[in-house]
Every structure is written in C-alpha cells, then in structure tokens.
Amino acid sequence: MAPKNDPLAFIKSRESTLEFSERRVEGKDIDRVLEAGRWAPSPLNIQPWEFIVVEDKKRISEMMKTSFYGYLHNDPPLIIAIVIGDQYWQDDYMSGAQSGILGLLECYMAAGMAASNMTYGARLLGIDSCVITPDPSKSPFILGLPPRNFNPLFLCFGYARKSAKKRLRERKAIPEIVSFEQLGNRKR
C-alpha cells in the first residue's frame, strides 16, 4: 500500500476494484468509513445525505446487476448507498442558497464529496472500493426509497482478490486540463 505520508502516492493508490474477495469488511471499519462520509463538506452544511449500509448478498447482487457497468465487477461484500432526500433541494430549504434543480445539483456534488471521503477513508484502512452509478429506475425500489429521493451512487467496499483483473489507469495530462487566469490560456 502507498505510504500515508506521501499524499500523491496515496491518492493514486485508490483504484476501482473489479474483483473483490469474499473477505467481509469488519463492523468497526464500516463505522469508520461512515464517519469519514459524515464529515464531508456540503452547501450551507445541510448534509443532504443518508447512507444505507447493505451487506445482504441477494440485495447486493440485485444492486450490481441493475447498475451501469455493474457486470464489469463481481459482487462486493459491502455497498454503502448514498441517498439524497427531497427535503434538501425542493422549495426553499436552503433559503438564500439554491433550490430546485440547482439545489439538487449541489446535493449531488455534496454526495460526491461524501463518496470521496469514504473511498479515501477506506483506502487508509486498507479497504478497496469502487464507485458505481445505480439505475435510477430500479435502485429506489431495491432500497425502499420514498418518491423524489435520489440515489446518486453505490460505493462498493471490500478487499481485492489476489491477482484481480485491473484496468489500464490513465489520466489526461496537466497541460490538457489546466488554464491560467482564463479558459484556454495554457501559458502560466
């Protein structure tokens, strides 16, 4: 595992796991991952999320089967589903801030921050992960969500199988994605 005192090496050591082993994530580690999610930033600190911890094999299998590209992965022993309640983005919940579609987008960004906290928090504990996009027409039924609640992400956790399949991991080069002062000005 990447040394924790080398932040960039640590960040790069988090990768999407395609094949999980049978090893379960211990309850005390699940609690620590949830704690990492709980401390994510959110607009006006509204914390628009609920986290659903799923360990039931049948439910996990259904969640993976119905997710986008879920078939690329085997079933993990643990999924934490992030849910956004409708009270956080409808009407004027965040009075003075965004409501409606912009409010919902802010909630989605907050969910992404929580996902990031949880996946990197897990990494610190030696736990592997993968972020998966649920099918919005199916996951609300699997998770028992009320109408107008959204489930932007499934976070899969577990331990990579020995010699698990890996994808080629690449990123765009810095000069392709960074501008200075205004978009497109590539010169520092």
| Interacting residue ranges for ligand FMN, rule: CB under 6 A | 15-16, 67-69, 72, 131-133, 169
Cα gap 117→33, rounded to integer Å = 8
Instruction: Provide, rounded to whole angstroms, the least separation between the CB of residue 68 and ligand FMN.
Output: 4
Instruction: Provide, rounded to whole angstroms, the least separation between the CB of residue 187 and ligand FMN.
Output: 29
DSSP letters spanning 92-104: TTTTTS--HHHHH
Identify residue 42 by its one-letter amino acid code.
S
First-residue to last-residue Cα distance in the chain: 34
Instruction: Provide, rounded to whole angstroms, the least separation between the CB of residue 15 and ligand FMN.
Output: 4
Nearer to ligand FMN, 93 or 139 (CB): 139
Instruction: Provide, rounded to whole angstroms, the least separation between the CB of residue 67 and ligand FMN.
Output: 6
Instruction: Provide, rounded to whole angstroms, the least separation between the CB of residue 35 and ligand FMN.
Output: 21
Query: For residue 26, what is the DSSP state?
Result: P
Nearer to ligand FMN, 99 or 120 (CB): 120
Nearer to ligand FMN, 68 or 141 (CB): 68
Nearer to ligand FMN, 25 or 153 (CB): 153
Q: CA-CA distances (angstroms) from residue 160 to 15, 122, 124?
A: 10, 13, 15
Residue 103: exposure state from Cβ atoms within 10 A (0-12, 13-18, ≥19): buried
Nearer to ligand FMN, 93 or 129 (CB): 129
Nearer to ligand FMN, 169 or 187 (CB): 169
Instruction: Provide, rounded to whole angstroms, the least separation between the CB of residue 63 and ligand FMN.
Output: 11
Residue 76: CB atoms within 10 A of its CB come to 26
Alpha-carbon dihedral 18, 165, 29, 24, rounded to 10 degrees = 90
Are the CB atoms for 30 and 78 separated by under 8 Å?
Answer: yes
